[in-house]
């Protein structure tokens, strides 16, 4: 499951820091320095680029100048500056106003936000032992600093007075900003007594350390594992494009001439789909599923258990029954029960379909007299056999039509048709790795919308998965500050001089993440804290997931799915088979996702007493047994490598992808109902109420303004293949 998961690998420390430093990356306009400076600051700035003005195109980070040793000094100065800025707010004798309190708070911490954004992005994409050491040092310090600011009683008193007074009713966006800030203070513990507030702060610091350890263990356990193949027998069944990618992985690891399978999903999934060596499939599957659960130095069981217990304790201190109740109270779902109801509504038909899929594959095994029962490491391989039999379709036939640059162009084209923006590469923009590319994004009048970076290829030191993040957020508080956004994928890069070809799922992921990128790039709000993707967790996936639908359309496939050698369009009959196969294996894909969602929700519905002495492995197994999960399918993300919930922002929120899919399936139907997938009126509503609106409205209100009716789960069930096209539930 793709994800917006920004690589905030200072984890809860940086994530919380963003909330108290002018929004999630809100910082400089084009090459502007922080307002607060002294002669000592100037001396530091002369040697530390993070403390200097950035004389780069459009104020992009000067990556080539930044060294690991610059970060601690820059973090420390950023914290000192924001302390002074907060003290200036609370030291006023004048009553609180929007200008002297809300606006001043939104302006504070810009240097700290800038440093945090650069650090977290580099830590996620180009991690080194030295960067990891900085993470470990700074995570608890930044968490303590965040708690200090968000529980500052003088600052909270001023914000509470504004929130409750008529002064806070000047405009819709100001009311929303006040409401969100007040909630942020309360949820940080500002309204608690001294003892409880101190305990919440201690928990936050400890969880920041645990989150950092979890993510670093995950990265190290992933990077430490490899399967080296050499003989033709080892490579049996593997298509040429996969062999070339594995050879590239070998070269990256200093194993020239050898073929290497890594634990990146982009390496694992195709190997499991094509390798004829059942013993090797078992090795790869086991390595992948056991990440973080190997009783070694990188084991995450104890970290996950302690994190769950601390979250439960924190929720109790805040007056909630469980962490899930605490988290979801601010989401569209409102209650854990509503989220569970949605997952269980989909679980039963998905599980039934998965059992049918299992039977189809077992029939192939039995028909060939193989003499074994389908195992988890067999599923992808035999699913591919069924796909070929049912749709006469295989990856070798599809991938030549999905060259990565052409699919990137397709994503940009859709944005141009919907929102009249153009995306143009600028090779003068500084980058932090040779494979990273930078782009200017401009509107129909030629005005800069923002900068966009792509970092698409897997490599050692880069965390797994796909995500969107920002180096700078949008706002218009004092002047128009344009965003700098990045998309990261983990595609296996083709050898030099050869095109990188994508699977259809990888192409969908590229579209998904660019949907997130547009949510950041097209943001058009005043306050940094409300900009872009700063929305509830079960709404943030909607702009990304609806964007995937355009790739599925015959129009886009006709225009961009062209053979990388001949430029010939995909044959009509192949295109039809591809579209028809989209719901194939839907039972498996839905069940593996929901298995993770159910465990996430069950873990975080434990109260403080229940969470004590938690055995994560046993709990995970019990939840899945009670749900009736068949043994041939595992969780998409087992708890010990479940970065979404233990190193990201999705704790008690993994259900959000399914919730958002209800929205995106119904939302794209709005375009289809017009007969034009680029219908201007519908696109204008999508831009106004979704992509540009940030968190200026509650998510259900934003949805209703766009769609005009409450979302329907039927479109989701139909898209997943659990309802007939055009039909309702029976």
Domain membership flag for residue 244: yes
Q: How far apart are the first and last CA of the chain?
A: 29
> What is the C-alpha to C-alpha distance for residues 99 and 143, in angstroms, rounded to an integer?
27
CA nearest 41: which of 111, 104, 91? 111
* Residues contacting 284, CB < 8 A, separation 6+: 227, 261, 268, 271, 272, 275, 377
Mark whether 204 and 251 lie in a shared domain: no
Domain membership flag for residue 50: yes
Which one of 244, 403, 506, 513 is the catalytic residue?
Answer: 513
Would you say how long the chain is, in residues?
730
Name the strand (E) or helix (H) holding 552.
none
CB 535, CB 699: distance < 8 Å: yes
pLDDT digits (tens, 9 = 90+) for 302-348: 999 999 999 999 999 999 999 999 999 999 999 999 999 999 999 99
Domain membership flag for residue 555: no
What CATH number corresponds to the domain at position 505? Answer: 3.40.390.10
> What is the C-alpha to C-alpha distance for residues 423 and 443, in angstroms, rounded to an integer?
9
Mark whether 271 and 418 lie in a shared domain: no
Name the strand (E) or helix (H) holding 151.
none
Q: What is the number of structural domains in the chain?
A: 4
In this structure, the number of other CB atoms found within 10 A of the CB of residue 657 comes to 24
Edge-to-edge strand ranges of the sheet holding 467-472: 422-425, 437-442, 448-457, 484-491, 467-472
Mark whether 515 and 441 lie in a shared domain: yes
- Which residue matches tokens 């965003």? 483
Inter-CA distances, 340 with 119, 345, 535, Å: 36, 8, 21
- Give the relative orientation of helices 265-274 and 379-391 as an angle to the nearest 10 degrees: 60
CB 652, CB 601: distance < 8 Å: yes
3-state secondary structure of 562: strand
The ranges of the chain with pLDDT < 70 are: 1-46, 166-169, 724-730
Range of the domain at 622: 301-393+584-654
- Residue 483: DSSP 8-state: P
What CATH number corresponds to the domain at position 47? Answer: 1.10.1370.40
What CATH number corresponds to the domain at position 624? Answer: 1.10.1370.10
> What is the C-alpha to C-alpha distance for residues 726 and 583, in angstroms, rounded to an integer?
15
Mark whether 211 and 251 lie in a shared domain: no
Mark whether 334 and 480 lie in a shared domain: no
* Residues contacting 621, CB < 8 A, separation 6+: none
> What is the C-alpha to C-alpha distance for residues 459 and 490, in angstroms, rounded to an integer?
8
List, in sequence order, the alpha helices (H) in 50-109: 70-90, 104-107
DSSP 619-678: HHHHHHHHHT--TT---SS-GGG-HHHHSSS-TTTTTHHHHHHHHHHHHHHHHHHHT-TT
Mark whether 103 and 195 lie in a shared domain: yes
Mark whether 425 and 505 lie in a shared domain: yes
List b or e across 275-312, with b for residues whose CB sees 16 or more CB atoms inside 10 angstroms: bebeebbeebbebbbbbbbbeeebebbebbbbbbbbbb
Mark whether 77 and 178 lie in a shared domain: yes
Q: Which two tokens stand for residue 427?
A: 């090779």
CA nearest 212: which of 397, 418, 14? 14
Domain membership flag for residue 53: yes
Domain membership flag for residue 59: yes
Per-residue confidence (pLDDT) for residue 393, from 0 to 100: 84
Per-residue confidence (pLDDT) for residue 31, from 0 to 100: 30
> What is the C-alpha to C-alpha distance for residues 348 and 591, in angstroms, rounded to an integer?
9
Domain boundary among 594, 619, 654: 654
Domain membership flag for residue 205: yes
Per-residue confidence (pLDDT) for residue 717, from 0 to 100: 85
pLDDT digits (tens, 9 = 90+) for 516-571: 999 999 999 999 999 999 999 999 999 999 999 999 999 999 999 999 999 999 99
3-state secondary structure of 570: coil
576 tagged catalytic: no
Per-residue confidence (pLDDT) for residue 165, from 0 to 100: 86
Mark whether 254 and 369 lie in a shared domain: no
Inter-CA distances, 604 with 171, 217, 311, 345, Å: 37, 22, 8, 20
How far is C-alpha 115 from the geometric centre of its chain's CA atoms? 20
Per-residue confidence (pLDDT) for residue 8, from 0 to 100: 28
Domain boundary among 654, 679, 707: 654
Mark whether 54 and 179 lie in a shared domain: yes
> What is the C-alpha to C-alpha distance for residues 554 and 400, in angstroms, rounded to an integer?
17
Sign of CA dihedral 142, 148, 150, 155: negative
Mark whether 191 and 59 lie in a shared domain: yes
Domain membership flag for residue 698: no
Domain membership flag for residue 315: yes
> What is the C-alpha to C-alpha distance for residues 556 and 286, in angstroms, rounded to an integer?
38
CA nearest 483: which of 443, 534, 517? 517
Mark whether 204 and 58 lie in a shared domain: yes
* Entry pTM: 0.90
* Residues contacting 474, CB < 8 A, separation 6+: 26, 450, 481, 482, 483, 520, 521, 523, 524, 525, 528, 531, 532
List, in sequence order, the alpha helices (H) in 38-125: 39-47, 70-90, 104-107, 110-125
């Amino acid at each position: 499951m793709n994800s917006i998961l920004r690589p905030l690998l200072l984890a809860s420390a940086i994530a919380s820091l963003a909330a108290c430093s002018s929004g999630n990356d809100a910082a400089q306009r084009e090459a502007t320095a922080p307002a607060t400076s002294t002669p000592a600051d100037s001396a530091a700035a002369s040697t530390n680029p993070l403390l200097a003005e950035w004389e780069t195109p459009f104020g992009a980070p000067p990556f080539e100048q930044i060294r690991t040793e610059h970060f601690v000094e820059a973090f420390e100065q950023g914290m000192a500056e924001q302390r002074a800025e907060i003290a200036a707010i609370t030291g006023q004798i004048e009553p609180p106003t929007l200008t002297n309190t809300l606006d001043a708070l939104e302006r504070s911490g810009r240097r700290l936000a800038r440093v945090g954004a650069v650090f977290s992005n580099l830590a996620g994409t180009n991690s080194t032992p030295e960067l990891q050491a900085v993470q470990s040092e700074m995570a608890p310090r930044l968490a303590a600093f965040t708690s200090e600011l968000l529980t500052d009683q003088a600052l909270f008193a001023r914000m509470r007075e504004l929130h409750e007074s008529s002064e806070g009713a000047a405009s819709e966006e100001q009311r929303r900003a006040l409401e969100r800030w007040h909630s942020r203070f309360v949820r940080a513990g500002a309204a608690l007594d001294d003892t409880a507030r101190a305990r919440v702060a201690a928990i936050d610091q400890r969880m920041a350390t645990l989150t950092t350890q979890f993510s670093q263990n995950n990265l190290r356990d992933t990077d430490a594992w490899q399967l080296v193949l050499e003989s033709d027998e080892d490579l049996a069944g593997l298509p040429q494009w996969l062999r070339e990618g594995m050879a590239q992985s070998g070269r990256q690891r200093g194993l020239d001439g050898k073929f290497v399978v890594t634990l990146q999903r982009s390496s694992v999934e195709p190997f499991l789909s094509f390798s004829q060596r059942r013993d090797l499939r078992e090795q790869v599957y086991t390595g992948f599923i056991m990440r973080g659960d190997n009783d070694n130095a990188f084991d995450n069981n104890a970290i996950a258990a302690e994190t769950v217990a601390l979250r439960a304790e924190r929720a109790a201190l805040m007056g909630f029954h469980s962490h899930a109740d605490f988290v979801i109270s601010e989401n569209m779902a409102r209650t854990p029960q509503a989220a569970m109801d949605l997952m269980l509504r989909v679980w039963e038909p998905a599980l039934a379909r998965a059992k049918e899929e299992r039977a189809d594959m077992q029939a192939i095994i039995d028909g060939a007299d193989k003499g074994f029962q389908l195992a988890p490491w067999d599923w992808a391989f035999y699913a591919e056999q069924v796909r070929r039999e049912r749709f006469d379709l295989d990856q070798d036939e599809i991938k030549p039509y999905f060259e990565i640059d052409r699919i990137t162009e397709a994503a940009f084209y859709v944005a141009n048709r919907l929102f009249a923006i153009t995306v143009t590469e600028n090779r003068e923009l500084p980058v932090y790795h040779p494979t990273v590319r930078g782009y200017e994004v401009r509107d129909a009048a030629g005005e800069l919308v923002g900068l966009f970076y792509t970092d698409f290829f897997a490599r050692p030191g880069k965390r797994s998965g796909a995500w969107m993040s920002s180096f700078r957020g949008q706002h218009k508080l004092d002047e128009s500050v344009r965003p700098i956004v990045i998309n990261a994928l983990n595609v296996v890069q083709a050898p030099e001089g050869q095109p990188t070809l994508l699977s259809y799922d990888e192409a969908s992921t590229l579209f998904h993440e660019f949907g997130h990128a547009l949510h950041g790039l097209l943001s058009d709000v005043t306050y940094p804290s409300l900009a872009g993707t700063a929305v509830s967790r079960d709404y943030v996936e909607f702009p990304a997931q609806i964007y995937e639908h355009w790739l599925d359309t015959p129009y886009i496939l006709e225009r961009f799915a062209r053979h990388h050698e001949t430029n010939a369009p995909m044959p009509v009959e192949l295109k039809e088979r591809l579209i028809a196969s989209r719901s194939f294996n839907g039972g498996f894909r839905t069940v593996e996702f929901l298995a993770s969602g159910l465990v996430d929700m069950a873990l975080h519905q434990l109260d403080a007493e229940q969470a004590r002495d938690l055995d994560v492995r046993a709990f995970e197994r019990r939840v899945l047994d009670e749900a009736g999960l068949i043994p041939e399918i595992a969780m998409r993300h087992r708890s010990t490598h479940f970065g979404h919930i233990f190193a990201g922002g999705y704790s008690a929120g993994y259900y959000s992808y399914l919730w958002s899919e209800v929205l995106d399936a119904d939302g794209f139907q709005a375009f289809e109902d017009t007969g034009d997938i680029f219908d201007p009126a519908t696109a204008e509503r999508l831009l106004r109420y979704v992509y540009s609106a940030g968190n200026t409205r509650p998510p259900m209100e934003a949805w209703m303004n766009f769609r005009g009716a409450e979302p329907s789960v039927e479109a989701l069930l139909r898209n997943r293949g659990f309802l007939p096209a055009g039909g309702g539930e029976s």
